[in-house]
Structure 1
Amino acid sequence: MHAKRKVSTAPAQHSPAPDASQSYNYSNLAREESARTELAEEVALAIAFNGISQAVMLVSPTDLEDFVVGFSLASGIVASPDEIYDIKLSGCGSAQQAEVEIASRAFWNLKQQRRHMAGTSGCGLCGVEAVEQALPELNVLPGAPLPPIEWLDGLRQRIGEFQPLGQHCGAVHAAVFMDNHGQLLLGREDIGRHNALDKLIGALVRREIPMAGGTAIVTSRCSLELIQKVLRAGIQTLVSLSSPTGLALQWARRHNLNLIHLPQHSAPRVYSPAMENQA
């Protein structure tokens, strides 16, 4: 029987992953010239729980401990951080491994799901074997007030400080957390939009930052799997820089999640909770 241990906030001991970006040569098609440019890197991260392989995800090689914690929670593999006992990262270059020790009850539930995911940077539901897994029963959130409109003023520009990789070489998504006082606290980046959100959730958990009354901001399109991740994390407001899908909106309303789209050139659009007389 393992004693429950908190997820460590210290960096895990592991072989170094590649840098988040590296310089590459390219040639100009119109002219006989060559130059170098920075490109975002990605690695294959194999995740095993209690020795059983569960997923291979393509991720940016940064904040991998945050990603493993967030992925475990936001995918429903564990119900709370207390069910994660240990994380060991290993590997080199573009092949990385994460060995995760979880509680027996969580591992039994995981085996019952009969799920083996082969993740990519674009899809958050790869390998799901049943409709019930894609559309699980999730708890309805307690109501939370909408953030004041002034908190969203200039938000697109303000989150830039949490996107160093994106501003340097592009090709990545970001997820940023705003607390219940309107302060931007931290952000995470990744080639995968759902990976960025997993990293953010893991970072919040590992640093014991309260999520109640806070807001997650995502730079990517807002589809169902992002809604499910913030619901499992207990974040009550999600701001997306891109429009939500219809199914994402339905789930946000059904589960009492504040869902706000922040267009580039117009006022924020509140999609949920549903306003009076709105369909």
Structure 2
Amino acid sequence: MGAGPDPRLTSSLPLEFERVGADGRVDVQKRAIAEEVPVAIECNGLGYAVLMASPGDLLDLGHGFALTERLIDAADDLIDAEVHPVDRGMLLRLTLSARVAGRVADRVRHRTADSSCGLCGVESLEQALRPLPPRRARWSGEDAAVFAALAALDAAQPLGAATRAVHAAAACAPDGTIRRVREDVGRHNAFDKLIGAMLRERMGWDHGFALLTSRCSYELVEKAALSACPMLATISAPTALAIARAQEAGLELRVLARPDSLLRPVA
């Protein structure tokens, strides 16, 4: 698959700031600032979506996005992916297999209809809350693993350490060992990048879990369920819909994960 330029080189930029102290003193300092660019996603020649994302690991983003958008079911459904720099952003071109190509056209038609007909909102709501696949694997670890992963996560976030402006998504082993991490200015993008990296490497969750530096929204629950993740842990609170969707899919949640405590929703 075409790799294009190495976009990780532009994930942050050094910029100058004037630092103003409470005592009125002013000095100049440089900080690494996270990049955020429009990423246009094109599927089989059709414009599908535009995301605001960090410009690193975009091939991973393409794979994860295609899976969690339900455009593909497995890595082999994505025949090719290419990243191209364009004016003021990046173009991510995905080529889907003939077996699933019809899904793209159906979704594009549906989005076009949404913008032209108020009645289509009913169908949009049904699409937004489509049934989730039942849990295919069970998390076999203990809560101590979440605390272990939390303790190791900071050291696994180079972009976060430099900018303090991005989210991270980590794939963790049952004992909390961090296996893969992806970072992005958007929490959804970070998780899609992680899922995409695992998909490209043919790497399963192996009874482990995902740890996200974000709140637990229903979209992240759905991405976890669609990637067959057994358990999702987040450092911030969940929404009620996220808990309901997780229970529907049989996905275990650990939320408000802190170094000294976490919460487990009670069914």
The 5-angstrom pairing of residues 150-169 of structure 1 reads 150-169=144-163
> Is the Cα–Cα contact under 8 Å of residues 222 and 240 in structure 1 kept in the other structure?
yes
Do 2:18 and 2:26's aligned partners in 1 also have CA atoms closer than 8 Å?
yes
Tell me the number of residue pairs that the alignment of Structure 1 and Structure 2 aligns: 254
RMSD: 2.3
Letter in 2 for 1:95: G
2:224 equivalent in structure 1: 230
Cα distance in 2 for residues equivalent to 1:263 and 1:83: 35
Given candidates 5, 22, 27, the residue that maps to 2:18 is 27
Deviation, structure 1 residue 168: 1.2
**SS class of match (1:152):** helix
Q: How does 1:24-173 map to 2 (within 5 A)?
A: 24-29=15-20, 30-92=24-86, 94-113=88-107, 114-116=109-111, 130-142=124-136, 144-145=138-139, 147-173=141-167
Q: Tell me what 1:191 maps to.
A: 185
- Higher fraction of helix: 2
Distance in 2 of aligned mates of 1:221 and 1:240 = 6
Residue 218 (structure 1) shift: 0.5
Structure 1 residues 145 and 85, CA gap change in structure 2 (3 angstroms)? closer
Q: Which runs of 5+ in 1 are unaligned?
A: 1-7, 118-126, 275-279
The reply to whether residue 221 of structure 1 matches residue 215 of structure 2 is yes
Q: Alpha-carbon deviation of 1:116?
A: 4.8
- Once residues 243 and 71 of structure 1 are traced to their aligned partners in structure 2, the CA distance between those partners, rounded to angstroms, is 24
1:266 shift after superposition:
4.2
Instruction: Indicate the SS of the match to 1:33.
Output: strand
Q: Residue 46 of structure 1 contacts residue 53 of structure 1 at CA under 8 Å; is this kept in 2?
A: yes
Matched, 1:253 2:247: yes
Q: Output the CA distance in 2 between the equivalents of 1:128 and 1:202.
A: 31
Decide whether the 8 Å contact of 2:61 with 2:193 is kept in 1.
yes
Q: Deviations over 1:112-139 (max 9, x none)?
A: 223559xxxxxxxxx9971122111221
Amino acid at match of 1:186: R
Aligned mates of 2:139, 2:200 — CA distance in 1: 26
Any unmatched runs of 5+ in structure 2?
A: 113-120
Distance change (3 Å), C-alpha of 1:185 and 1:115: farther
Question: Following TM superposition, by how much is the alpha carbon of 1:169 offset from its aligned partner in structure 2, in angstroms?
Answer: 1.1
Q: Give the TM-score normalised by structure 1.
A: 0.83
Find the counterpart in structure 1 of residue 173 from structure 2.
Answer: 179
